[in-house]
Amino acid sequence: MIILGIDTSCDDTSAGIVLDGRRVISNVVHSQVELHHPYGGVVPELASREHLKNIMPVVSEALLKADIGMRDLDGIAVTVGPGLVGALLVGLYYAKALAYVHNLPMVAINHLEGHILSIFLEEEVPAFPFVALTVSGGHTSLYHVKGYGQYSLMGQTLDDAAGEAFDKVARILGIGYPGGPVIENLALEGRGNKINFPRAYMSHDSLDFSFSGLKTAVALYIKKWRGGQTETDGVKISDIAASFQESVVDVLVQKLIDAGRKTGVLAVMAAGGVACNKRLRARLEEAASSQDIRVYCPRPDYCTDNGAMIAAAGYNRLLTGEKADLSVDVRSKYPTQELSPID
């Protein structure tokens, strides 16, 4: 089954073509980083306009690269949420038009299910059940994944997402956008144990996250550091970046491994933009190996937003005969208790 997956949930216009939910034939992403860079974050109105400009060329390029035409497709999968409403609408209505004109079944996909199933685009995949951490600019959530379409939310952020914290700290430091990659690079030269920023573990057995306190603590530190009011002792900007990153990584690693232990699974995975972070990947490997748990992370291109992961999620839904009505709408958010279309 050949599926076209489309995602326009945030600032990437993406389309991927995937065979049987596993083999990526093409994956095209048009990034809007340059457009939003001067603002230090995504400007929703600009994102929608840019998606409108790029959705047709991106889908055409995905077909061209796959060397197939619309008639070779067996279905279309499209993200309907969570995300920016104006941005989601572009992908959804383009998918609807394609499905109608070419008489193809269409399925509506939760962006987070795409991130979880992105691991199936890799050669080595975890066996069910496993625990998944989806960690990006919009989300930080832990799911117990029992099978395709069977996800139980175990914990989530009560305020900022981890990627959002990276982006905000980078903005305060004035070092660029998106914050994750620039902080990771800067941290390579810094000392992660130089400043003891807070780690919000919440209560002892909580699997929820909170990053807003850390963001505030870093902001206050930077203010004093710039004003020369703190023990400067040779503290460099790279030390701040490394110490902040260490604090985020500590919490993410501990909670993911705890969730793995609690459920007794043999495998955990991390996906979403923040899962590109090499320090996070290394620390996860280290922590999991002492617990006999295996760690799986998709390659960076499948961690950041992409259409291939949406096609992978769509394959499993189309197989079960699921089909979205053409009246389906986008959803900016999903209620906490509702774990789906994730469920």
- Please give the residue ranges that form the binding site for Zn ion (CB under 5 A): 136, 305
Specify the residue, 88 or 288, whose C-beta has the smaller distance to ligand KG4: 88
Determine if 307 is a binding residue for ligand KG4 (CB under 6 A): no
Beta partners for 79? 109
The b-or-e profile of 257-266 (16+ CB within 10 A means b, else e) is: bbbbeebebe
Determine if 27 is a binding residue for ligand KG4 (CB under 6 A): no
Which one of 19-27, 130-138, 224-232, 253-261 is the stretch in contact with ligand KG4 (CB under 6 A)? 130-138
Specify the residue, 137 or 190, whose C-beta has the smaller distance to ligand KG4: 137
Residue from 113, 184, 239, 258 binding ligand KG4 (CB under 6 A): 184
Give the H or E element holding residue 185.
helix 179-187
Determine if 179 is a binding residue for ligand KG4 (CB under 6 A): yes
Residue from 50, 246, 258, 305 binding ligand KG4 (CB under 6 A): 305
Specify the residue, 82 or 105, whose C-beta has the smaller distance to Zn ion: 82
157 Cβ partners below 8 Å, 6+ apart? 139, 140, 141, 208, 209, 210, 211
Which one of 117-125, 188-196, 257-265, 270-278 is the stretch in contact with ligand KG4 (CB under 6 A)? 270-278
Q: Which of 341, 308, 336 is nearest to 324 (CA)?
A: 341
* Residue at 20: amino acid letter: D
Residue from 180, 190, 260, 341 binding ligand KG4 (CB under 6 A): 180
77 Cβ partners below 8 Å, 6+ apart? 3, 4, 5, 6, 106, 107, 109, 310, 311, 313, 314, 315, 317, 318
The CA distance from 252 to 95, in Å, is 35
By CB under 6 A, name the binding residues for ligand KG4: 10, 136-138, 163, 166-167, 178-181, 184, 272-274, 276-277, 304-305
